[in-house]
Amino acid sequence: MDSPRVSIIGSGYVGLITGLVFAKKGFDTVCIDVIPDRVDKINNGISPFFEPRLQELHSECIDTGKIRASLDSVKEIRDSDITFICVGTPSRDDGSADLSYIEQASSDIGEALRSKERYHVVVAKSTIPPGTTEELIIKRIETVSGKKAGKDFGVCMNPEFLKQGSAVHDAFNPDRIVIGEYDTRSGEGLQVLYNDFDCPKMMCDIKAAELIKYAANSFLATKISFANDFARICEAFNVDVYEVMKGIGYDYRINPRFLNAGVGFGGSCFPKDVKAVIALADEIGVETPILDSVIETNEFQPIHFVNIIKRTIGDLNGKKVGFLGLSFKPNTDDVRETRALPIISSLIDEGVLVRAYDPEAMENFARITTLPIDYMPSWREALNGSDFAVIQTDWDEFKNIRGKDFRQYLNSPIVFDGRRSYNPESLIKEGIVYRGIGWKNL
Ligand code: UGA
């Protein structure tokens, strides 16, 4: 395959961005989705979600004609040479991964391959439990198509490690590319697409590739919960946890990243993936005390944060909060598993009137909750006349708020910093009552 045509099933963050990366590298790429509005948007050059640099890249690839979107999965798969499965694997109630979209995608691929003579490569990119590629994807494709893996089609598992908020950058500059291959021919078919990526490329067993993704996310989540446990210890000893984590981060075996204490991790990946690992370990009778505690710490952080607020203010009934940041992290409009929800919900239970602002995520947040929240058009308006401020997402826009701004707009200059967005000492010098996770004097 010299210049394979690429089809991608599922046009969410991973699917669309993967598609755009291949389109930018010159491969003809089609993104398949079941949502007509999303397909129209992609074809009209309008990115369906916010992500830095996404819109420019999208417009460029539409102009070069290298990307398009379609609702017709079977036809598009048949007309391409490599198909990526990039559909969601959401959590079920018991924490395990819901694989129904994977099943549907596999059936579509089977249907397409039934009437196809040429060799085709199927690549699972979604985060899936070990064994899913072999037991579900391959078996389903073989049953529906009547074809044989390894002979008529190749299969790879190629996990994605991009982060929302820097997804475009990450997708072009991965730390490594992991390819679990069914056989050498499958791996070679996929490697053509990654030829000019300058990073380590690791070929491995398909199940190992599936587990590498879960292990990577579980480990990063563990680092965060570790920092959050230490944050509470540091608060009690009147020590800044950021100094302590900086001190350990110089050790190359530890490294300084993902040790930022705060109100916990959210998003569509860490909570879901750690819970999925716990559920699948439970199913096979393996205990996971570390991962259980990672989730426990994460669920406790918003409660701990609200406790800090209660301890500082006293009776919260009737108080107004200028609540800044609803997305689960900066530079995204995604609110899945955002810590804003448990924090706001507890504040409302205490009788607080919430005046919230987020630069990108207000519409999405209003969709996931009916809590009585006043959505404000700017941070100034959210703070104006409020009794205290809460920072839940460390958007740059909020980091630029000065002590004098808090003093000007708030009724009393009290700032609760859930993400350690500020230099506490300079705010304190400017007369602000500062309370931050893992900061001294709590
Ligand atoms: C995460 C992983 O970082 C990616 O490598 C992976 O590809 C992705 O999941 C996925 O599985 O698709 P993402 O959830 O987009 O990426 O964002 P992160 O930057 O990892 O942040 C997740 C959460 O952890 C956010 O709520 C963030 O605020 C929080 N966080 C992150 C901390 O509380 N402290 C930190 O030090 C770092």
Residue 193: name the closest of 30, 5, 64 by CA: 5
pLDDT score at 2: 74
C-beta of residue 253 within 8 angstroms of C-beta of residue 290? no
Q: Can you tell me the distance from the alpha carbon of 7 to that of 235, in angstroms, rounded to the nearest whole number?
A: 51
Q: Of residues 86, 156, 234, 269, which has the active-site annotation? A: 269
C-beta of residue 389 within 8 angstroms of C-beta of residue 408? no
Atom of ligand 1 nearest to the CA of 330: 28
Distance, CA 138 to ligand 1 centroid (Å)? 30
Among 329, 333, 338, say which to mutate for ligand 1: greatest number of ligand atoms within 8 Å of CB: 329
Active site residue 61: no
At residue 395, the 3 state secondary structure works out as coil
Among 126, 158, 175, 220, say which to mutate for ligand 1: greatest number of ligand atoms within 8 Å of CB: 220
Among 178, 269, 326, say which to mutate for ligand 1: greatest number of ligand atoms within 8 Å of CB: 269
Q: Can you tell me the distance from the alpha carbon of 389 to that of 412, in angstroms, rounded to the nearest whole number?
A: 9
pLDDT score at 1: 67
Residues 6+ apart with CB under 8 A from 308: 416, 435, 437, 442
Atom 6 of ligand 1, nearest CA residue: 161
Residue 179: both structure tokens together = 């390819």
Q: Going from the first residue of the chain to its last (442 residues), give the mean pLDDT of each consecutive group of 10, the final group possibly shorter.
A: 92 96 98 97 96 96 98 98 96 92 98 96 97 98 98 98 95 98 97 96 98 98 98 96 98 98 97 95 97 98 98 97 97 96 98 98 97 98 98 97 98 98 96 96 68
The DSSP 8-state label assigned to residue 352 in this structure reads P
Start-to-end CA distance of the chain, whole Å, equals: 62
Amino acid sitting at position 349: D
Q: Can you tell me the distance from the alpha carbon of 110 to that of 103, in angstroms, rounded to the nearest whole number?
A: 10
pTM of the model: 0.95
Atom of ligand 1 nearest to the CA of 221: 24
The DSSP 8-state label assigned to residue 183 in this structure reads S
Burial of 252 per CB tally in 10 Å (0-12, 13-18, 19+): exposed
At residue 37, the 3 state secondary structure works out as helix
Distance, CA 74 to ligand 1 centroid (Å)? 34
Handedness of CA 42, 48, 49, 50 (dihedral sign): positive
Atom 1 of ligand 1, nearest CA residue: 163
Atom of ligand 1 nearest to the CA of 267: 14
Atom of ligand 1 nearest to the CA of 393: 28
Atom of ligand 1 nearest to the CA of 159: 7
DSSP string, 103-119: HHHHHHHHHHHHT--S-
Output the 3-class SS for 54-98: HHHHHHHHHHHCCEEEECCHHHHHHCCCEEEECCCCCECCCCCEC
Distance, CA 336 to ligand 1 centroid (Å)? 12
Atom 34 of ligand 1, nearest CA residue: 260
Atom 7 of ligand 1, nearest CA residue: 161
DSSP string, 163-205: -TTSHHHHHHS-S-EEEEESSHHHHHHHHGGGTT--S-EEEE-
Give residues (CB < 6 A) around ligand 1: 127, 160-164, 217, 220, 224, 258-260, 262, 265-267, 269-270, 328-329
pLDDT score at 442: 66
C-beta of residue 325 within 8 angstroms of C-beta of residue 358? yes
